[in-house]
Chains A and B, each alone.
Chain A
Amino acid sequence: MNLAIELPGLSLKNPIMPASGCFGFGREYSEFYNLSKLGAVIMKAATGSERFGNPTPRVAETASGMLNAIGLQNPGVHKIIETEVPFLSQFDTNIIANIAGSTLREYEEVAYAFNEADKVHALELNISCPNVKEGGIQFGTDPSMAARVTEAVKKVSHLPVYVKLSPNVTDIVSMAKAVESAGADGLSMINTITGMQIHVPSRKPLIANKTGGLSGPAIKPVAIRMIYEVSQQVNIPIIGMGGIQSAVDVLEFLLAGASAVAIGTANFQNPFICSDIIDELPSVIEKYGFHSVQEVIGKGIVS
């Protein structure tokens, strides 16, 4: 069974990769299995300098999902290039660097810094983090701002750029088209949906940041709908994500038009989830009458 997929900058042995923010820089999960098995690893977001993130609690469980507001905690792009990229590059997989910033200038700096990291294969441009006060989502909810940051990053970077879209918008297609016109090589969708949980005994929002990003199976139908709509309107590939828990879920994302997928929250429940899904994928693809991953892409779209 051929699971391989070719995307800009990425020769994936299979379409499975852990999603940014849910896998750190791979160190912890490498104690469970060999990361060379993965199609790619998307690293936790990098910002210009070190960020400590939000106060705790930072997570809350919800029905079929969870809220998080970590706040882009990371050691900063230079430390990541110095210590984390070399760690991940010992594995036979692709490395995608997720980049974030508070200003256009910071996005450019972080993107530029990764030009020096020859083991990084692509950038995932995070314009959709709902949990930081400035930047992040403000670039991800306005098509002209999204286009500007995409264009700026494309200008300074040698790497293919996948723009990670926020679902917290009225018209996802116009966002996708805007970044495609600005030169995006691919899309990554969807990020989390902004939500809140009030802790009844204490009568206040449970998460210290008040709002958080909803992830997990609860948001899968939203992701499928958005990928379905966008994949018909753009000519760049989509890395799909949002609540994937099984190989059948992967098939659903491919049918909707994604070319590869990322798995996030499910890693917390089962540290082996990416590895397990890679093992199960061939039989699931075969069961539903296909012969390769490539063949499945977009086959769920009805005219």
Chain B
Amino acid sequence: MMLKDKMKIVSTTYIAKDTIEMVLENSNITEYAVPGQFLHIQVGTHTLRRPISIADCNKQLNQIKILFKVNGEGTNKLASYQQGEYLDVIGPLGNGFTMDGETNSTVLLIGGGIGVPPLYYLGKTLKEKGINIVSVLGFQQKDHVFYEQQFQELGETLIVTDNGSYGYKGFVTDVLDQINEFDCYYSCGPIPMLKALTTKLKGKNGYISLEERMGCGVGACFACVLPTMDGTSYKKICKDGPVFQAEEVTL
């Protein structure tokens, strides 16, 4: 169910370097949102909307949290919106994470940078289903780290920074050996990270969430496609994804 509606900005907060958490309110869109989906947000008069993943959803309060990093004109403009203003949003879009784990099974969440947010809503939802959560979160450096506390409330959480200024030094793939057995993994982050990760965890049951520059966001324009693993077909990230089985698509 995709809708186009106005979402009221309840709050907007810098939670780390260049990183904003925004709480949006709208009963229609929150009603249908599941972990892994995204919102397609109109920013000022920009021609293209900005796809931003859902970081959390509170269906009682009709609120969705989004987190985004300011790194261009569009996100800069989005950061300038104030509490009380409204955003024009299409959503919730895409297919969410498959959540078929059994009670007491263990799930590993691996997030890189601004790929971390969708894993939070996922982890929260899985924990409510009685699933054990272990998280590995990678950031550039100390001042980019966010949601450490929130993930720790879900379960054991390892933080990794590129330069070692906080937590472990290196990449998320460097600390995977420290993780005990898990039944399934979910990951979102930059393509090089996902490539390294899916190679390292080859054969494991896993899901990855992908980003790409999008046009329509609803599956009509064919801007955000990628080939399937067997090379005979393609998937649209916005409509068939953004979540794919780890070995379903070619990165």
Given A28-B239, A56-B212, A271-B90, A61-B220 contact (CB < 8 Å): no
A57 interface contact, C-beta 8 A? yes
Q: Which residue of B lies closest to A24 (CB)?
A: B220
B70 interface contact, C-beta 8 A? no
A87 interface contact, C-beta 8 A? no
Query: CB distance B225 to A73 under 8 Å?
Result: yes
Query: CB distance B215 to A24 under 8 Å?
Result: no
Query: CB distance A60 to B213 under 8 Å?
Result: yes
Query: CB distance A269 to B48 under 8 Å?
Result: yes
Question: In the complex the two chains form, what is the Cα distance from A272 to B4 in whole Å?
Answer: 9
B69 to chain A, nearest CB (A): 14
B222 interface contact, C-beta 8 A? yes
A64 to chain B, nearest CB (A): 7
Query: CB distance B47 to A62 under 8 Å?
Result: yes
Question: In the complex the two chains form, what is the Cα distance from A158 to B230 in whole Å?
Answer: 40
B226 interface contact, C-beta 8 A? yes
Main secondary structure of the interface of A (DSSP, over half): loop
B239 to chain A, nearest CB (A): 7
B28 interface contact, C-beta 8 A? no
B223 CB contacts on chain A under 8 angstroms: 56-59, 68, 70
Given A265-B47, A271-B4, A21-B213 contact (CB < 8 Å): no
Query: CB distance B214 to A59 under 8 Å?
Result: yes
Given A61-B46, A268-B48, A269-B42, A53-B222 contact (CB < 8 Å): yes
B84 interface contact, C-beta 8 A? no
A171 to chain B, nearest CB (A): 29
Main secondary structure of the interface of B (DSSP, over half): loop
Query: CB distance B47 to A58 under 8 Å?
Result: no
Q: Which residue of A lies closest to B40 (CB)?
A: A268
B170 interface contact, C-beta 8 A? no
Query: CB distance A66 to B47 under 8 Å?
Result: yes
Q: Which residue of A lies closest to B220 (CB)?
A: A24
Query: CB distance B221 to A24 under 8 Å?
Result: yes
Enumerate A64-119 residues with CB–CB distance to B below 8 Å: 64-66, 68, 70, 73
Given A24-B220, A73-B225, A66-B215 contact (CB < 8 Å): yes
A127 to chain B, nearest CB (A): 20
B234 CB contacts on chain A under 8 angstroms: 52, 73
Given A28-B216, A270-B4, A59-B225 contact (CB < 8 Å): no
Query: CB distance B217 to A268 under 8 Å?
Result: yes
B139 to chain A, nearest CB (A): 19
Question: In the complex the two chains form, what is the Cα distance from A64 to B45 in whole Å?
Answer: 8
Query: CB distance B215 to A57 under 8 Å?
Result: no
Question: In the complex the two chains form, what is the Cα distance from A265 to B225 in whole Å?
Answer: 18
Query: Residue-by-residue, is A225-260 near B (CB-CB < 8 Å gives 1, otherwise 0)?
Result: 000000000000000000000000000000000000
Q: Which residue of A lies closest to B3 (CB)?
A: A32
Query: CB distance B221 to A268 under 8 Å?
Result: yes
A23 interface contact, C-beta 8 A? yes
Query: CB distance A29 to B220 under 8 Å?
Result: yes
A272 CB contacts on chain B under 8 angstroms: 4
Query: CB distance B225 to A269 under 8 Å?
Result: no
B224 interface contact, C-beta 8 A? yes
A160 interface contact, C-beta 8 A? no
B190 interface contact, C-beta 8 A? no
Query: CB distance A57 to B47 under 8 Å?
Result: no
B184 interface contact, C-beta 8 A? no
B2 CB contacts on chain A under 8 angstroms: 31-32
Of B42, B213, B227, most A-chain CB atoms within 10 Å? B213
A22 interface contact, C-beta 8 A? yes
Question: In the complex the two chains form, what is the Cα distance from A270 to B219 in whole Å?
Answer: 14
Question: In the complex the two chains form, what is the Cα distance from A269 to B41 in whole Å?
Answer: 9
Question: In the complex the two chains form, what is the Cα distance from A195 to B221 in whole Å?
Answer: 19
Query: CB distance A66 to B48 under 8 Å?
Result: yes
B249 interface contact, C-beta 8 A? no
B202 to chain A, nearest CB (A): 24
Q: A24-B222, A27-B220, A44-B222 are in contact. List 20 more A-B contacts (CB 8 A).
A: A21-B221, A22-B220, A22-B221, A27-B219, A31-B218, A52-B234, A53-B222, A56-B213, A58-B223, A58-B225, A59-B214, A60-B213, A61-B48, A65-B47, A68-B215, A70-B221, A267-B220, A268-B216, A269-B48, A271-B4
The 9 closest A-B pairs by CB, nearest first: A24-B220, A59-B223, A28-B220, A28-B218, A57-B213, A268-B216, A58-B223, A73-B222, A61-B48
